[in-house]
Structure 1
Amino acid sequence: MTGSRRTDDALDAADESFEALLRFVRDSRGFDFTGYKRGSLMRRVRHRMDQARCESFDDYLDVLQADSDEFDALFNTILINVTSFFRDADAWNVIAGEVVAGLLAERSPTDPIRVWSAGCATGQEPFTIAMVFAEAMGKEALRQRVKIYATDVDEEALAEARLATYDARQVESVPQALREKYFEHVGGHYAFDKDLRRAVVFGRNDLVKDAPISRVDLLVCRNTLMYFNAETQRNIVKRLHFALGPRGTLFLGHAEMLLSHTERFTALDLPNRVFRKAAGTHVTVERGDLVASPVERHGDLPGLQGVRELAFRASPVAQLVVTGDDTVAMINHQAEALFGLTGRDVGRLLRDLEVSYRPVELRTYVDRARTERRSARIQDVRWQQPGADPVWFEVHVNPLIDAADGFAGVSIVFFDVTATKALLDKVVQTNHQLETAYEELQSTNEELETTNEELQSTVEELETTNEELQSTNEELETMNEELQSTNDELHTINDALTERGMQLDEAKIFSDSLINSIRLGLVVVDQQLRVAVWNRGCEELWGLRTEEAIGQALLDLDVGLPTEDLKPLIGAAFVDPDASGEAVVDTFNRRGKPTRVRVTCSAFHTTGFGVTGAMLLMEVVAQ
């Protein structure tokens, strides 16, 4: 027995140490895990303790107090972000084919649509929602009408979700057609469509303590509730119920049910965990039922009945009492003033009075109280009197049970809740304004983050462009240096060519002088027998100037030159470069005087090109 007691004491001490650990995490970092299921939560903490080599929760608490980085490892272990695109494909088919299609059919083409993905992890779930709506209504309509709020308690997961970039394994569950349509394959990763990405607003929200997003048409909260204990689940479901607008749809995971909230939701598709907010359910101010119960009396005071009647008639709350046979037994002053009743109406049947059906039909509730002996509470009853502001009532119809457990009658009480309703409407309106301001702030923050990312991208592009310009500038400088060097070389070559040209001009002058100094006639022809050289001796012999002879065919010159006798000599010079032929011809000189001329013909050699023509020397010989 003593050993068992020690074991129980040790377990109690471990539980207290664990609770102290959770309180420290809550107070120091704002993460409240006290509502999580203890079994699974303790297993995850112990898993992290094993990695940190801690034996007890107290030891691990010391590690958390000393090492702030250990918090991140602990949160990543506890907040298991298991998610994927189109997880449970059959359930998503129901959402696309029934919920989204029905939602669009009920709305006009311009009505806004609000969606909340609670516990979105790394973003696959809200992006799945975006693709479903885009397929149903088109990308442009989605951008204009649909706002998807994606929240999670894990900031690290939200940061990853905002990038909207996934590897090939993560997008395997996306149908091929949608993957090609809504993802861009870049560098081994898949980036989600930017237009659809702008429809999703990411933000941190703790389902346990933060205010829910309101007026939601579709609320997706899958495989999140199962991590919390029953009481925390009830509180969260109340928040989710409040977040939904009229006829709003709640989409849960396969492992989750609404066993304790069947009055708040109706099942649209129970196997796939799709529920709709029940009609007429909304947050109200709770008020205890006024059910009469037997009271033990310790004596009967004199005149007590009269006091009771006076107290009843002076009550500030309008009230009627009806007997078991539907006869009006009592009416107080407030009821008379409100509904135009008088003392003469006592004893009449309730169904004969206007108050039985105005401002609300009472007869059904009275009959139910009589037959079922159950109280009824009728909320939001509006009473409009001519020329006055409307009054709001909450009507209680309570059966009156006597000491012998017999049915004595029915009490009908009209509670004036006009001020309360106005205050509640004001609170709801203020809450809506706060929610709207919070959503706009989230949206603005999201847009600022997106703008910051775009600016960072622009800065990176500008830095890359600057580096490229610097590299180009360096290349241009190198090319400039090469061009300068080439220019210097060209100057050197030009100087050399200029000097060479001067030398060539001098050589040409010398060559022309040499040729013209020869007293004999000198003719050089090319291989087409065109005159290339015609010296001054030829001018004096034949009377044809050099500029008239150069370029002309030798055989076509009409100067008295016996060209027929020269053809064999020129032909032999072309055939045998080493041969030299001679002929003496009789002809007439430029003055028409008969002259005998000796013509010597040899091959004309050009350095590097061989025989390029024939050279003829003409000498006048004595007759």
Structure 2
Amino acid sequence: MVTDDDAEDDGYPVATGSGPDGPAFGPAEEAEFEGLLTFLKESRGFDFTGYKRSSIRRRVARRMAQVDASTFAEYLDLLQVDTEEFTQLFNTVLINVTGFLRDPEAWDELAEQVVPQILAPKSRGESVRVWSAGCASGEEAYGLAMVFAEALGVEEFRARVKVYATDVDEDALAAARQATYSEKELKSLPAGWRERYFERSGSRWTFRSDLRRCVIFGRNDLVQDAPIGRLDLLVCRNTLMYLNAETQSHVLRRFHFALNTAGVLFLGKAEMLLSHGRLFLPIDLRRRFFRRADQVDPSGRGIGAINRLPTSGSRGEVQLDDEALLFSPLATVVVTPDEVVATANRRAEAQLGITSREIGRRFTELELCHRIAGLRSSYEDVRRNRTSLWQHEAEFARSSTETLYFDIQVVPLAGAADEGPAVALFFTDVTRYRRMTGELQAAHRQVETAYEELQSTVEELETTNEELQSTVEELETTNEELQSTVEELETTNEELQSTNDELQSMNDEMRERTSQLDRANDFLESVLGSLRTAVVVVDTELIVQAWNGRADDLWGLRSDEAVGQHLLNLDIGLATDRVRPLVRDVLHGEGVRQDPLRVEAINRRGRTVQLAIGVSPLVGRQGHPDGAIILMDQLETAIP
């Protein structure tokens, strides 16, 4: 969408007078303007009612001046009769002006301070999710990709980072997906970035294809569509400034929901968020970096700081801790520094079969270690390295007919340096999520099979796939994230419904064009068949293109036998050596013989007939002959 810092002062003509939201209009004009916005929303799905009226009026007024429409009602009448005018209006309203690393000081702080703070608390291999909202022609999204590639390295970037780039302008998204830019457009990049991240293609430069797969483009209306969830960085620069206060508040609540607890919001230099302190607090107000308000640490330690309660050794609190462990919804096993099972809660007994008989046994001797592949090696790695470790979707065959899947977190606890740490193992049951993953993947394969030939929807299907995958990941964490997953699936269903509607429209248009073509062919055949003169149409190579019924009666060849054959190869009783010079002259543009050529020929009955033959050029769109029309009129029939 709009990303130009100065686009608000665009020089469009405005009405005189002023009001709280821009130029003042009379009640009748206000009603006409609101009716125009309502028509755009209902007919094309673009809801501009949330935008600042002053900005929208100026852009609509500019387009009205270009088409000589004096009132909003008159322009509405034009939109109703001219469907092409919608495209011109949207191109005027949605100004797509952007560039690489606009406002360099803010981008320097993003690369040098904000991105390292985002990556610091993440474990190795943990994914990073970035959203560029209102990406226009893609420079901002690819700029974010390059910043993270610089911070992580190319290989780790490809494995960990996903950059989602969205806009409401389909033409801008189509240009962004090409990822091709001129040398002038890349001048603002730091030294060496162009050669490192772009490949020369003629006179232009194309973003590297291996990194391009990490940047996913899709259509998203910030006002109406569900946000992309679990974000580490959300970039929305100079887009909110075109929304009114109520709509801004609605969009910012969605942004707050979409960000992780340590997520960062990066806005344009014209956007302050002074009235939304309960949602976001500034990291750097001058360069417009904000974080979620519920992530603020009073000690001022920065992004991701966590408050911890002091520990207590009282007997009552120890019993409370034991009670909490006993009834924990996660199956938990605690192993002492000498590798003996110290305790296991009720969930572990119910799901893993660890009863009181296993307490006091060596952990590596438990049947559990043999039935879950990789558990023993994970446990030994944690004891050796004293760092926590995750084992995802570990398979556990509880019986011959039942298999469970767990996400296992192995965590080192306190222990003496010479004897190794105690270890706690937490088993999160993800069996239900695994089944849902299979169902979602099967549904995705069906979608890909149904629309594999639609190149225009490939990027949207990739976005859908990523949203479905993120849904699975969210279901593996907490129940609170389930609502975000439902919203993403609803967005996917809306996109698929939109795709089905587009396909239906294409099919209707194809049927209409086929019907028109059939009527044109029927008309042409009717004209040729109604002529009393034999008509033969040939192309520049003398290949027969048309052969009417009179020619069929004269020579005894049907149309399907003659069409596609060389004229001189047809087995008819016509002296073609006399006709050929006439055709050659016409094809070479040397003029048309005014009087017809009279020749004798033998018709299909074997009788000698007198023919008057005329040749005319078949003139193409460029004014040059594309073939010749041969007219053969029977004058008289000789008596055998």
* TM-score, reference length from structure 1: 0.46
Larger radius of gyration: 1
